[in-house]
Amino acid sequence: MLTSDRLMNVSRRYTNSLEDAKDVLQNAYVKIFINLKNCDLKNGNIDGWLSRIVVNEALQLYRKKKKDNNRDVLYQQGLKEISAPEIIARLNAEDILKLMKRLPEGYRMIFNMNVVEGFSHKEISEQLGIAESTSRSQLSRAKELLRDIINDQKKAELC
C-alpha cells in the first residue's frame, strides 16, 4: 500500500489529471511485473527502480500528448532564478502539488525531473529530446512562474 501511494504521487506530479496519473501507474505496474525477473534487487534500490519506471511512463505519455497536440505550451519570456528548496521548505506536499499543477506541462515535467527526481539537465535533454540549454531555461522559467504564483497568493491573502 505504501509503495502504491508513493508511486501514485510520483505519477500525479507528472500528469495533468487523476485519470492520466492512474493510466501512467497502471502501465508502470505492467512493466514492473514483466521486468521484475530481470531486476537485480540485491545491488540496487527497489524504490528508485520503481519510481524510474513511473517517471518513464509519464514521460512517454507526455511525449505522446505533445506529439498529438503539436503545440508548444512553454513560455518564451526570460525569467529570474529562484531557490526551489526555499519555496518547498515553506509549503506542505499538497500545496506544492497544487502549485505544480498550475505550471504549463513542459515546465512541470522539467521541474519534476530536476528538482524532485534529481535528474541532470543532460538526462532531461536525453529523455525529452531537447537541448540541455532548453532544459536549464525551462527550469528557470518554471521557478520564476512558481515564485509569481506564490507572490500573487500572498498578495491575495493580505487583501
Domain with CATH 1.10.10.10 in the chain: 75-159
Q: How far apart are CA 136 and CA 142, in angstroms?
A: 10
**Number of helices and strands (H, E) in the chain?**
8, 0
Q: What is the pLDDT of residue 76?
A: 33
The cell numbers describing 112, all together, are 519534476
Domain with CATH 1.10.1740.10 in the chain: 1-71
User: What is the structure's pLDDT at 92?
Assistant: 66
CATH number 3.30.465.10 given to 75-159: no
CA 103 to chain centre: 10
Percent of the chain topping pLDDT 90? 19
Task: Tell the CATH topology of 1-71.
Answer: Rna Polymerase Sigma Factor; Chain: A (1.10.1740)
CB 62 within 8 A of CB 109: yes
Q: Which residues of the chain have pLDDT under 70?
A: 1-2, 40-44, 67-93, 154-159
